[in-house]
Chains A and B, each alone.
Chain A
Amino acid sequence: MIRLEDVTKVFPGGTAPAVHNLSLEVAEGEIIVLVGPSGCGKTTTLKMINRLVEPTSGRITVGGDDIMAVPAHELRRRVGYVIQQVGLFPHRTIAENIATVPRLLGWERQRIDDRVEELIHLVDLEPGMTRRYPRELSGGQRQRVGVARALAADPPVLLMDEPFGAVDPIVRGRLQDELLELQRRLVKTIVFVTHDIDEAIKLGDRVAILNVGGVVEQYAPPVEILRDPANRFVEEFLGSDRGIKRLSLIGIRDVPLEEGPMVDRFAPAAAARDAMDRYGVDWFGILDGTTLLGWAWAADLDGATPADVAPKPFEARLELDDSLREALDTIITSHTRVAPVFDGDRFVGTITAEGISRELAK
């Protein structure tokens, strides 16, 4: 969908090129994230795609068309653009801001109004906001308007330059989730720039790690980058906790689950002791078919069978949709080495600290 071939940018007065012989391909419908330290040319690269920065040499195509073949303003009306400072027009209402590109394209009044209403819902803003001015909105709301404005004319390509950099971490996390949710529905081709590796890992279908001068050190899906960093630079950029980072990308659904120290409520006490020995724990779970009734201490079995003890409810519960990172966190905070996994109410197995570390070793 987007293709950069041997693109170089030398700024006037600059000695070293800001971007040097960069080649990159973005497939239709994927989010790719350009990430790297300051001076790595990630923003310059992004701005070359909508010609806010003109490449010195090389070729860029969007949807197969050379971007130099059309006037810059026409190209830009077909490519959504979101920046960190949002850049809403302060003298225009929210509705007018969102309507910017449709108005430039000369849409009819009614079509614009309908589209604005649709977008307000899409980015989860209150309909009453449309007649307000940007200064009357919070940072998070403004950023949503910025996204709505970029999507207004339904461009196939979206360029996002650190769009969530200026909001607090809680709002940022929510905006990231919303972007992923939007992407599931709209399936745009998105190029996203950030300096935050966690954001890159969370959002990117593929992540390009750039070094100073626009050198692509590695361009791969985040799981792959975390598992096999191409070189020292990438390794250092990922940080010392890249194992943990990888865990957040793997779902419990994706790993084999174990039986755990669980026994049927009518099983003999010996069976419960065996199960506990197997997992090296001093408690066991009590099952009734696929329903996990709860757990009990080994000491509760003194002269009794599992059927006699009153099961205590599990506080530590994991869902199939949770990530291994959440699983590990649950295991650590519940001072045990195994945690039960549920699919709704149904008990589907347990996950263990050993199982998690086995998965990382793969």
Chain B
Amino acid sequence: MIAAPFFRWDWVFDHLGLIWDKVYQHLVLTGIALGAGLVLSMALAVVALRFPRSYPPITWATGILYTIPSLALFAFLVPITGFTILSAEIGLVSYTLLVLIRNIVAGVQGVDPAVREAALGMGYGPRRLFLEIELPLALPVILAGVRIAAVTTIGLVTITALIGQGGVGFFILRGLNRFFNTEIVLGTALSVMLAVVVDLALVVVERLLTPWMTERTAVTG
């Protein structure tokens, strides 16, 4: 009997279609989680900024969500929402809230008071002040939070394989069940690569969105 090689490239090349499907699913699950998480966090952050006394309970509640073990949370959701994408997203979104809210609030609070005073003194109302001055200036801090949330979410998506979702986590789970190293290694490697690529992409997005932060050497005359 010939020992099977540890990693079978031929298997990988035979299943490129499936691999692409799972990578795509992974990105969709991550994207929805980040998008929904950002919308929800923005709403909660606005509440926290407007009513400072609501900030401690908000961080407390999202902090508790953050500490629930992911395995337990997904298992708990199955009886309620089933083996669905909804179950996966409820969990994934919950884990983004704490870091996103904290960074939005910290970013807005970190805006130079002189800038805020100048804006008010020039006749900005509270809404335009927030949208046109505070939010853009908080962007670097907010995007730093988005990067952390993105990398965390990409890792967590693999766990949703247990409830029938999972993106590239599908390979890890199936490999474990079948004692098939190639799938385990493939799933892990893809998940890490996705995290790195998405993080780099977000760095590029940050540069594009905050042109005033980068030193320009080119002549701008």
Contact = CB atoms under 8 A, between A and B. Distances in A.
A216 to B, nearest CB: 24
A77 interface: yes
Contact of A91 (B114, B136, B220): B136
B133 interface: yes
Contacts of B115: 87-90
A35 B23 CA distance: 68
B159 interface: no
Interface stretch (B32-40, B117-125, B170-178): B117-125
Interface in A143-169: 146, 149-150, 159
B123 A89 contact: no
A337 interface: no
A308 interface: no
A87 B220 contact: no
Interface in A55-86: 73-77, 81, 83-86
B220 A132 contact: yes
A73 B114 contact: no
Of the candidates A52, A100, A131, A136, the one having the most CB atoms from chain B within 10 angstroms of its own CB is: A100
A101 B121 CA distance: 10
A81 B121 contact: yes
A118 B72 CA distance: 66
Contacts of A75: 123
B51 interface: no
Nearest to A93: B212
A104 B210 CA distance: 23
Contact of B212 (A52, A74, A133, A146): A133
A52 B122 contact: no
B114 A87 contact: yes
Nearest to B125: A73
A328 B112 CA distance: 46
B203 to A, nearest CB: 18
Interface string B122-158: 1111001000010011010000000000000000000
B124 A85 contact: no
B123 A87 contact: no
B221 interface: yes
Contacts of B128: 104
Contacts of A84: 114
A13 interface: no
Interface in B203-221: 210-212, 216, 220-221
Contact of B120 (A52, A88, A101): A52
Interface string B28-52: 0000000000000000000000000
A323 interface: no
Most chain A beta-carbon contacts within 10 A, residue among B115, B123, B125, B210? B123
Given A52-B117, A83-B117, A135 B122 contact: no
A101 B120 CA distance: 11
Contact of A81 (B118, B133, B211): B118
A303 interface: no
Contacts of A76: 120-123
Interface string B92-116: 0000000000000000000010111
Interface string A169-210: 000000000000000000000000000000000000000000
A45 interface: no
A149 B121 CA distance: 12
Contacts of B125: 73
A14 interface: no
A128 interface: yes
B221 A128 contact: yes
Contacts of B211: 133
Nearest to B118: A87
Contacts of A92: 212
A218 interface: no
A74 B123 contact: yes
Contacts of B210: 91
Nearest to B135: A91
Nearest to B139: A91
Contacts of B216: 136
A198 to B, nearest CB: 25
Contacts of A149: 122
Contacts of B112: 85, 87, 90
Given A52-B117, A90-B137, A132-B220, A100 B122 contact: yes
Contact of B114 (A74, A83, A104, A131): A83
B139 to A, nearest CB: 8
Given A90-B137, A146-B118, 8 more contacts: A52-B121, A81-B118, A85-B112, A87-B114, A91-B139, A92-B212, A101-B123, A132-B220
Top 5 nearest A-B pairs (CB, nearest first) are A87-B118, A85-B114, A77-B123, A81-B121, A76-B123
7 contacts: A76-B120, A77-B123, A87-B116, A90-B137, A131-B220, A133-B212, A146-B118
